[in-house]
Amino acid sequence: MGPSSVISFHHLPKIELHVHLDTSLSFLNAVRLHPGLTESAYRSDYVAPDVCRDLTDFLRYPASSIALLQQGEHLTMAIRQLIRELKEDGVIYAEIRFAPLLHLAGGLRAEEVVEAACEAILEGEEETGVMARLLLCTLRHFTVEQSMQTADLVRQFSDQGVVGMDLAGDEAFSLNPHIPAFRAMAEAGIPCTAHAGEARGADSVEDALEFLGVRRIGHGVRSIEDSGLVATLARHRIHLEVCPSSNLQTRVFSRLSEHSIDRLYRAGVSLSINTDGRGLTSTTLSREYALVAQAFGWEQRDFLTVNRMALQAAFLPADQKEVLRTRLEGGYGQSDLPTR
């Protein structure tokens, strides 16, 4: 996909539901936090290879970014710069996720970490007009206590920009330690999502739906391996946060033409296109749209459809969705993007 194809999608309004803070540190952002960092060192230490051995290998690479995000000021700078980059990419709403308990090495309390992040998204929205909210992640290898602590943080900051909880990390770890935290979220009426169906197959998605009670799945692309599950997802409007290039990078699929996104879409599954990690994967939503258009012949109406699906699945109240819907529909009506 050539540069001109990417640019043609640049101003198309976009909703991004799956973007990790600690894997979206651009070079511009990283060098501000680590003066003297060279671009070659950045690409070596902060960007994963185009093809990793697997998801576990991929998950080794965020460590450099996380190490830079151990101070409140650094978290604020990183989030505000990410929101500027989202603006440049045509994003009008984003749910930015991160695990607060990974940012305590510099002496911050978990509450101080989330406070800094909440302040940053509000400042970022005032500066750019991009509406952003936070999802707090617990991780598969965390203990019951750590997951409950994360859930408590979600509740504590639910009126300050935190809109839900996520379960991320290596799917080889059991869901069991996290079930109490997700039940607590359900009792509080707070929506959740969970990574599943990425490294593991369709059974991983089924487990997340059954034991965590989520209505959104991070990735979920291996659902295609079970036609019954695909029908269930479509029937119950379970939303999949699909990250095409990331799935190639972790070898879920060997080439984009084999990716399940188009088959899931044609089967009526609610889904959205996302970057996952803009730095670690070195991508933008404009690039992801261009790649999907090239691989599957998607037209402007298809991208509008998945953005509508994303907005419907967003963890926002109806009145805020309506404001975004007006911006989304108006943007497509004015776009000069040619259909294919």
Catalytic positions are 198
From residue 87, how far is each of 128, 256, 336 by CA, in Å? 7, 26, 18
Residue 184: its H or E element: helix 179-188
Edge-to-edge strand list for the sheet holding 131-139: 14-20, 91-98, 131-139, 162-168, 192-196, 216-219, 239-242, 271-273
The residues near 281 (Cβ < 8 Å, ≥ 6 apart) are 23, 48, 243, 245, 246, 249, 275
Residue 112: its H or E element: helix 110-128
Q: What share of the chain is helix, strand, coil (3-state, %, to 5)?
A: 55, 15, 35
- Of 67, 65, 153, 75, the closest CA to residue 121 belongs to 75
- Of 340, 314, 339, the closest CA to residue 328 belongs to 314
Cβ–Cβ < 8 Å for 100, 114: yes
The residues near 4 (Cβ < 8 Å, ≥ 6 apart) are none
Instruction: Kindly compute the dihedral angle of the four CA atoms of residues 324, 244, 179, 267, in this order, to the nearest 10 degrees.
Output: 80
Q: Which regions of 83-152 does DSSP assign to beta strands (E)?
A: 91-98, 131-139
Distance CA 259, CA 139 (A): 26
181: tokens are 């935290």
Q: Which residue's entry shows tokens 């991508």? A: 283
Distance CA 20, CA 278 (A): 8
